[in-house]
Amino acid sequence: MKKILIIGSNGQLGSDLSKEFKSKSAIEIATLDHTQIELRDKSSVHKSITELKPDIVINCGAFARVDDCEENPAHAIEVNALGAAFVAQASAEIDAVCVYISTDYVFDGSKNTPYLEDDPAYPLNMYGISKLSGEHMVRSCSPKHYIVRTCGLYGLVQLEGGNGGNFVETIIGLAKEHKPLSVVRDQVLAPTFTKDLSAAIAELIDKGGFGTYHITNSGECSWYQFAKTILDLAGLKTELTPTTSAEYGAKAKRPAYSVLSNKKIEQIGINAPRAWAKALEDYISLRT
């Protein structure tokens, strides 16, 4: 029997990972949400992990609001980098495997083909800087680690009272109010359903060697195409206009292209998650 601890268990990924592991035999799950663990507090992290004594710790906790990280860089570093270090140190102390979830925003977007795990990382914003720092902390503190970079997450927890929101829900909510939408077409991503990501992470932990991996749904699109597909699949009509990052003027700079290659997981026999539009269709059918 393996014990898996999921930190950030009421977030989008944390909640789908909990469901994924609950469906498996010979796995015991422990979950901690933000009311039960404070990643910025070394003693809170150390106490939780050393008392629960899991075999595997999956850290899904993060300060993930990209524009807010520009406003509050110290908080971003405390949660995403120092918090990651505290988790990795405590995991190493009890010889547990440490899994850290990272992001496509560690890259600067200057490529136009999917990023490989060993491509140089040059983040453009504080969120990416804090997550890349978190990766370095995990690599330094925990010899038994997986770093999983992913992209553009949406998960069903937002329909079950989750408080973070996601792009799909934002678009659907605004369209229902017949608000005109303006969405960037000069940023390309691979939107990813946390249910699919969770299944792939479970498989990775089962059969992959330690190291850094990219996992997203397959294919790519601009945020504008993503929004258009959401409206089409949800059967909603509202004015949707493509715009540019410069016109939109978000606080945080974002990469123009941040698609991650799934090749490395495929090479170890894990199927890349299905095409992004198929996964989105599934999500939208589950939410109605």
Ligand X SMILES: NC(=O)c1ccc[n+]([C@@H]2O[C@H](COP(=O)([O-])OP(=O)(O)OC[C@H]3O[C@@H](n4cnc5c(N)ncnc54)[C@H](OP(=O)(O)O)[C@@H]3O)[C@@H](O)[C@H]2O)c1
- Residues interacting with ligand X, by CB under 6 A? 8, 10-14, 33-34, 37-40, 60-64, 79, 101, 103, 131, 150-153, 163-164
Shortest Cβ distance from residue 76 to ligand X (Å)? 10
CA distance readout (Å), 263 to 22, 51, 114, 199, 267: 28, 38, 10, 17, 6
Shortest Cβ distance from residue 19 to ligand X (Å)? 13
Are 104 and 188 contacting, i.e. CB atoms less than 8 angstroms apart? no
Shortest Cβ distance from residue 34 to ligand X (Å)? 4
The distance of Cα 77 from the centroid of its chain, to the nearest Å, equals 17
Q: Which is nearer to ligand X, 3 or 40 (CB)?
A: 40
Q: Which is nearer to ligand X, 156 or 233 (CB)?
A: 156
**Would you say the C-alpha torsion 240, 245, 250, 253 has a positive or negative sign?**
positive
Shortest Cβ distance from residue 210 to ligand X (Å)? 18
Question: Residue type at 231?
Answer: L
- Give the dihedral of Cα atoms 193, 18, 270, 260; nearest 10 deg: 40
Q: Which is nearer to ligand X, 83 or 177 (CB)?
A: 83
Between CA 139 and CA 182 the distance in angstroms is 40
In 33-142, where does DSSP find H-type helix?
Answer: 42-52, 66-71, 73-76, 83-93, 126-141
Shortest Cβ distance from residue 157 to ligand X (Å)? 7
Query: Which one, of 22, 196, 156, lies nearest residue 164 by Cα?
Result: 156
Q: Which is nearer to ligand X, 71 or 239 (CB)?
A: 71
CA distance readout (Å), 228 to 6, 216, 266, 274: 34, 20, 29, 19
Residue 174, CB-side half-sphere exposure with 13 Å CA sphere: 18
Catalytic residue among 115, 127, 146, 213: 127
Residue nearest to ligand X (CB): 11
- Give the dihedral of Cα atoms 274, 278, 284, 287; nearest 10 deg: -40
Shortest Cβ distance from residue 178 to ligand X (Å)? 26
Q: Which is nearer to ligand X, 163 or 288 (CB)?
A: 163
Q: Which is nearer to ligand X, 68 or 203 (CB)?
A: 68
Tell how strand 211-214 and strand 181-184 pair up. Answer: unpaired
Q: Is 257 a catalytic residue?
A: no
Active site residues: 127
